[in-house]
Amino acid sequence: MTTSYIGESVKRLEDARLLTGQALFVDDVHLPKMLEVAFLRSSYAHARIRKIDVSEALKKTGVVAVYTAQNLGDYWQAGPLLVSPPPIKRLTFHKKTQVILAKDKVRYVGEPIAAVVAENRYIAEDALNDIIVDFEPLPAVVDLEKALLPDAALIHEDLPSNLAAHVIQEKGNYFAIKDQADLIIKRDFSYDHGAAVAMENRAIVADWDSKGQQMTVWDTTQAPIPIMNGLAGMLGLSENQVRVIAPFLGGAFGPKIMMFYSEEMLIPWISKQLGRPIKWIEDRQENFLATTHERGQTHHAEMALTKEGKILGIHDVFLHDTGAYDPYGLTVPINSQCTLLGPYDVKNYYSEFSVIFTNKMIVTPYRGAGRPQGVFVMERLLDLAAKELHLTPSEIRSRNFILPEQFPYKNEIIYQDFAPLVYDSGNYAPAMEKALELIDYKKFVEEEQPKLRAEGKNIGIGVVSYVEGTGIGPYEGAKVTVGASGKVSVATGVGTQGQSHFTTFAQIVADVLKVNIHDVTLVTGDTFKMNWGCGTFASRGMVVAGNACYAAAMAVREKILKLASEILESSIENLELGDSKVCVKGMPEKKITLGELAVKANPLRGAVKPGTIPGLEAAAYFGPSTGATSNGVHAAIVEVNPKTLRVDILKYIVVHDCGKVINPMVVEGQIHGGVAQGIGNAYYEQLVYDKKGQLLTASLMDYLLPTSYDVPRKIITGHIETPSPLNPLGVKGTGEAGTIPAASLFVQAVENALDNPKLEIREVPMSPNRLFELLKES
């Protein structure tokens, strides 16, 4: 019995392996003769290295080798620029990418200086204590606003200042309309650093097989194929000699696609040098110090409005902290710049940003990838304007929504995918209406809130909206094969880190080929199974790889029907595909199974027609012309404890439009997790650097992740489906939707709960103590 899987909450096919401890993670790879690596990392944020003495470390029993920049020889290099700057006219960019091991100078606490290779990790870590580094400390650049002052220390001394990039983008003419405004809201906003903190730290195992002249690398990367291509180039091997496997990954959320981490460049090279398998497993402290993180912006923004609350224009100038290097180009600040505009019809926009080098770990996308900052600025400006104009948060938003007939809506400025920012489709008003209905806004504000306030409770409500540019190109591929057993295998190049690819891609293929989903197996993240593709990022897996799976399955379906029509001597139109077989319509006995067809498609003797491509197999690629824009509205009711300022989120509504939903259960899971990370980002998690650039929050005792007590009691989701016209499945991405507006909503609801007209929260992360300070000031 074949059913339709698309749109159903199909239980996950990958669960059994994960639940029984049988799923392979990188640290589970254990090879004979394997050595382990520990890194000596900089304890200074900014210092010159005068001398490194590794002689004592080398004497330790069990230590096999110690590498520094000096003995890497010609292999010492700076990593590649992962994302070039988009073609924006008013743009300057200074490329400074991370090096394998620090030479002459260190630029952040945690920068790798030396690698000890030993019989096991315990010995390698012992030996780190025997390495003597003579540092000359330099003043650290930590404060964004002070980094460009003339007396600031220079992080990259060949540059005139700590400016990494400068970009201006404009739509309409803000300056021309400013005078027509009835109201100007002008404020500063800041959004400090937070970390992704995937539960699995980074890990790499590299195995150079000199007899087979083959390099195999297991890597916790979101982008195994680009790692393969890059390593082949660096190591002087052909792509066929390098196999990169990203097996099961224990979460990623963005930072596992920072190509290339120093360790990713070094570990395979060491394996080749020593001819033995090499393993490096990041520990949690290293994860805080040496895995990229995000946020870190200050905005000086103003909004011009009419007295009806209609936005005339926005002017925003911001600083973006890129950390010590800028290998990820401008993706994050451009996302902030573009996403700020949100679901609103803004005719005039001036946006200017400066990217600043600081003595901190490199900033690259983390779930949200610049968008939460933009949304925070926009939503806060609207909140402030609504207060001035005596409008509710939903009224001011609804008055500015782009109308359905305005799609495709052109924002004119250039987005992270190098294309002009165009919203493909959307229907924003129903999302707002549905959210207000689900949270019962009217009843809460008119009846419940006054009653609860009279009882002395600080209880408040909030509502925000946002867009998310998802599913950007360039492309992904998939290969679908029907085997002699009738089983279907699907290989895609994207890595998987919990997104349920094994299930959702199988749903698509099973529907096209009309087979049982349990007969479809997925391979993701193994470059020997699929060697073309980009990776998992930017909420694009389903949009780009999902549509590639669809295209490949359609091509195989065509092959199946063509071959079956020859064998069954019937026209294709007269054939019926289903239950892993093809039969002639109305003649169920005249049939052939998919397994039998697969054997016929791969003959061992005889002749085939010229041009025949053997097997029931096809590879296909999908590349959208531009990203698909998802949107949504979040609403919440919170209660603030007046003594402790603990915030309980009593109700949390997400109405989200990610186009056609393939698996509602999976989409809801993505939303739940995204919201939890957004709440953490809003009130619990903060990377705190002191004036010397020391990270004060480099453990889970100091960097607080939301627990089961801190997340919303219940998240209620409401889906709206506006199919994207940009791909055959009509899907849009959803991975980051939970996170993007959560902090904006949280502070709006907290302000409403505290009901203090002077309280204005213009920074995140908040925390109980910071909120206490703000309340005292107000």
Partner 1 sequence: MSNLFPITVTVNGVVYQKEVEPRLLLSDFLRHTLGLTGTHVGCEHGVCGVCTVLFDGRPVRSCIMFAVQANGHKITTVEGLSKDMEHLHPLQEAFSEKHALQCGFCTPGFLMTLIAFLHENPHPTEEQIREAISGNICRCTGYQNIIEAVKLAAIKMNASRENVANELSFP
- Residue 11 as a binder of partner 1 (CB under 8 A): the answer is yes
x-marked contacts with partner 1 along 34-63 as a string, rule CB under 8 A: ---------------------------xx-
Strand order in the sheet with 183-191: 91-93, 163-171, 348-357, 311-323, 297-305, 183-191, 763-764
To partner 1, the closest distance from the beta carbon of 182 in angstroms equals 41
Please state, in angstroms and rounded to a whole number, the distance separating the CA atoms of residues 173 and 589: 71
Told to check if 271 binds partner 1 by CB under 8 A, we report no
Of 634 and 672, the one with the shorter C-beta distance to partner 1 is 672
Task: Report the number of secondary-structure helices (H) and strands (E) in the chain.
Answer: 19, 30
Interface with partner 1: number of residues (CB under 8 A): 61
Q: Does 720 bind partner 1 (CB under 8 A)?
A: no
Should residue 699 be labelled a site residue for partner 1 when binding is judged by CB under 8 A?
A: yes
Strand residue runs (E) in 484-585 = 488-492, 520-524, 575-578, 581-584
15, 134, 136, 773: which one binds partner 1 (CB under 8 A): 15
For residue 498, the minimal CB distance to partner 1 (Å) is 3
**Closest separation in Å from C-beta 21 to partner 1:** 2
Does 497 contact partner 1 by CB under 8 A?
A: yes
Give the list of residues 6+ apart from residue 394 with CB closer than 8 angstroms, or none.
432, 436, 441, 463
Q: Does 700 bind partner 1 (CB under 8 A)?
A: yes
Tokens 């400006």 identify what position? 381
Edge-to-edge strand list for the sheet holding 132-137: 105-106, 47-53, 132-137
**By the rule CB under 8 A, 696 interacts with partner 1:** no
Stretch touching partner 1 by CB under 8 A, among 151-159, 479-487, 579-587, 707-715: 707-715
DSSP string over 74-132: GG--BPPPSSPPP--SSEEE-----BSS--SEE-STT-EEEEEEESSHHHHHHHHTT-E
Choosing from 116, 205, 223, 249, the residue that interacts with partner 1 (CB under 8 A) is 249
Nearer to partner 1, 15 or 145 (CB): 15
How far apart CA 293 and CA 297 sit, in angstroms, is 13
**DSSP states of 645-707:** --EEEEEEEEEEE-BS-S-HHHHHHHHHHHHHHHHHHHHT----B-TT--BS--STTTSPPP-
Among 116, 197, 636, 774, binds partner 1 (CB under 8 A): 197
Under the binding rule (CB under 8 A), the answer on residue 32 touching partner 1 is no
Provide the mask over 162-181, with x wherever binding to partner 1 is found by CB under 8 A and - wherever it is not: --------------------
Closest contact distance (angstroms) between CB of 16 and partner 1 is 4
d(CA 369, CA 254): 8
Least Cβ distance, residue 57 to partner 1 (angstroms)? 15
C-beta of 25 vs 407, nearer to partner 1: 25
Burial code (b: 16+ CB inside 10 Å, e: under 16) for 660-686 equals bbbbeebbbbbbbbbbbbbbbbbbbbb
- Rounded CA-CA distance 548/534 in Å is 13
Instruction: Tell me: does residue 708 bind partner 1 (CB under 8 A).
Output: yes
Return d(Cα 501, Cα 523) in angstroms, integer: 9
Residue with smaller CB distance to partner 1, 351 or 739: 739
Name the one range near partner 1 by CB under 8 A: 161-169, 466-474, 514-522, 705-713: 705-713
Cβ neighbours of residue 260 under 8 Å, at least 6 residues apart? 79, 80, 227, 230
Nearer to partner 1, 314 or 542 (CB): 542
Residue 701 interacts with partner 1 (CB under 8 A): yes or no: yes
253 binds partner 1 (CB under 8 A): yes
Q: Which stretch binds partner 1 (CB under 8 A): 96-104, 491-499, 579-587, 755-763?
A: 491-499
Supply the minimum distance, in Å, between the C-beta of residue 672 and partner 1.
4
Minimal CA–CA distance to 361: which of 101, 98, 156? 98
**Binding of partner 1 by 284 (CB under 8 A):** yes
Alpha carbon distance 777, 710 (integer Å): 26
Compute the least distance from the CB of residue 662 to partner 1, in Å. 14
Q: Which is nearer to partner 1, 318 or 502 (CB)?
A: 502
**Cα–Cα distance measured from residue 235 to residue 72, given in angstroms and rounded to the nearest whole number:** 13
620 in Cβ contact with 555 (< 8 Å)? yes
Contacting residue, 348, 500, 626, 748, with partner 1 by CB under 8 A: 500
677 makes contact with partner 1 (CB under 8 A): yes
Contact by Cβ (8 Å): 301, 377: yes
Distances (CA, A) of 424 to 314, 349, 472, 751: 23, 20, 12, 34
705 binds partner 1 per the rule CB under 8 A = yes
Residue 601 CA neighbour count, 13 Å, CB half: 28
Indicate whether 205 belongs to the interface with partner 1 (CB under 8 A). no
Of positions 49, 198, 461, 633, contacts partner 1 by CB under 8 A: 198
Q: For the CB of residue 407, give the shortest distance to partner 1 in the complex, in Å.
A: 31
| Token couple for 349 | 């926009």
User: Per-residue b/e over 611-638, b at no fewer than 16 CB within 10 Å?
Assistant: eeeebbbbbbbbebebbbbbbbbbbbbb
Distance of closest approach, residue 129 Cβ to partner 1, in angstroms: 14
Query: Cβ neighbours of residue 527 under 8 Å, at least 6 residues apart?
Result: 224, 225, 228, 242, 243, 244, 245, 493
Residue 200 contacts partner 1 per CB under 8 A: yes
- Chosen residue from 665, 688, 759, 775 binding partner 1 by CB under 8 A: 665
x/- contact string, 410-439, with partner 1 (CB under 8 A)?
------------------------------
Reduced to 3 states (helix: H, G, I; strand: E, B; else coil), residue 31 is: coil
Q: Rule CB under 8 A: which of 738-777 touch partner 1?
A: 738
Q: Does 125 bind partner 1 (CB under 8 A)?
A: no
Scanning 335-343, 439-447, 496-504, 756-764 for contacts with partner 1 by CB under 8 A, the matching segment is 496-504
For residue 492, what are the β-bridge partners? 478, 524
Q: How far apart are CA 121 and CA 280, in angstroms?
A: 8
Query: Which of residues 173, 707, 756, 778 is near partner 1 by CB under 8 A?
Result: 707
d(CA 462, CA 635): 5
- Binder to partner 1 among 615, 669, 728, 768 (CB under 8 A)? 669
Instruction: Tell me if 715 contacts partner 1 by CB under 8 A.
Output: yes
Of 283, 448, 648, 721, the one binding partner 1 by CB under 8 A: 283
User: In terms of CB distance, is 260 or 502 closer to partner 1?
Assistant: 502
Site of tokens 């669960």: 15
Q: Pick the closer one to partner 1 by CB: 169 or 500.
A: 500
Single out the segment in contact with partner 1 by CB under 8 A; choices: 130-138, 560-568, 614-622, 699-707: 699-707
The single residue listed with the structure tokens 């010229």 is: 610
Name the 3-class secondary structure at 731: strand
Measured from the Cβ of residue 725, the count of other Cβ atoms closer than 10 Å reads 12
Which pair of tokens denotes residue 76?
A: 């010492």
What is the contact mask toward partner 1 in residues 67 to 106, using x (rule: CB under 8 A)?
A: ----------------------------------------
Which residues contact partner 1 by CB under 8 A?
9, 11-12, 14-23, 25, 27-28, 30, 61-62, 122-123, 196-201, 248-251, 253, 283-284, 497-500, 665-666, 668-670, 672-677, 699-701, 705, 707-709, 711-712, 714-715, 738
